[in-house]
């Protein structure tokens, strides 16, 4: 889990090596996979993913914006569909078991390819029951007091927490992802 300073950004998510940096263009709507390596089934945990607006000035930021905008991010799990069936139709985000490996369909709706298997079809990627996706909406940062410009970026602090269900006597809580979201200038955000 990330344990270095929240402003010390690296791309090594979910390790002790450092925090992360998500660099996005204003208006992008993306989701990022996180493999919860310390728990066998990510869907059995409760998640809280938040972004806090950073104070302007420093690059990377060193303070939270007082009275700034806080955003709660949604999470998604791959939908497990059971053992792969070549006659079945699948949708993006659905996961199957094939040759003792979990595979997730990366694109498409009602997708069926009877000539290929998940292991040979580029539309599938390996996955697992320990994968969760953090969803960043296209509206992130649009109400921040500091907007990105051609020469500057806007920043927010990101953290993801996951907890065991409250029915456990002493539910553990982990914070596997911490870091910064960087929003870059976007002409399409400004042109109607």
* Domains of the chain: residue spans and CATH: 9-77+130-190 (2.60.40.10), 79-126 (2.10.10)
CB 123 within 8 A of CB 105: yes
Mean pLDDT of 156-171: 93
C-alpha torsion 35→36→38→39, nearest 10: -120
Q: Residue 12 to residues 2, 25, 109: CA-CA distances in angstroms? A: 8, 21, 32
Q: pLDDT (tens digit, 9 = 90+) per residue, 83-140?
A: 999 999 999 999 999 999 999 999 999 999 888 999 999 999 999 999 999 999 999 9
Q: Which residues contact 84 (CB under 8 A, 6 or more apart)?
A: 96, 97, 98, 103, 117, 118
Global pTM reads 0.82
Residue 20: predicted pLDDT: 87
Helical ranges in the chain per DSSP H: 187-190
Count the Cβ atoms, other than its own, within 10 Å of residue 115: 7
Residue 135: strand, helix, or coil? strand
pLDDT at 50 over 60: yes
Q: pLDDT (tens digit, 9 = 90+) per residue, 65-86?
A: 999 999 999 999 999 999 999 9
Residue 1: predicted pLDDT: 44
């Amino acid at each position: 889990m990330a344990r270095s300073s929240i402003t010390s950004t690296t791309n090594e998510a979910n390790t002790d090596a450092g925090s992360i940096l998500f660099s996005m263009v204003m208006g992008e709507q993306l989701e990022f996979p996180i493999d919860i390596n310390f728990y066998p089934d990510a869907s059995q945990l409760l998640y809280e993913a938040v972004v806090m607006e950073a104070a302007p000035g420093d690059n990377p930021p060193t303070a939270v914006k007082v009275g700034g905008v806080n955003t709660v991010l949604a999470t998604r799990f791959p939908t497990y569909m059971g053992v792969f069936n070549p006659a079945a139709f699948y949708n993006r985000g659905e996961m199957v078991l094939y040759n003792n490996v979990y595979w997730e369909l990366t694109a498409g709706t009602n997708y069926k390819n009877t000539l290929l298997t998940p292991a040979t079809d580029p539309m599938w990627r390996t996955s697992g029951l320990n994968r969760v996706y953090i969803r960043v909406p296209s509206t992130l940062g649009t109400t921040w007091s500091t907007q990105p410009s051609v020469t500057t970026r806007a920043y927010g602090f990101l953290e993801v927490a996951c907890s065991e269900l409250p029915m456990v006597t002493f539910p553990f809580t982990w914070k596997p992802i911490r870091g910064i979201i960087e929003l870059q200038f976007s002409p399409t955000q400004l042109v109607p």
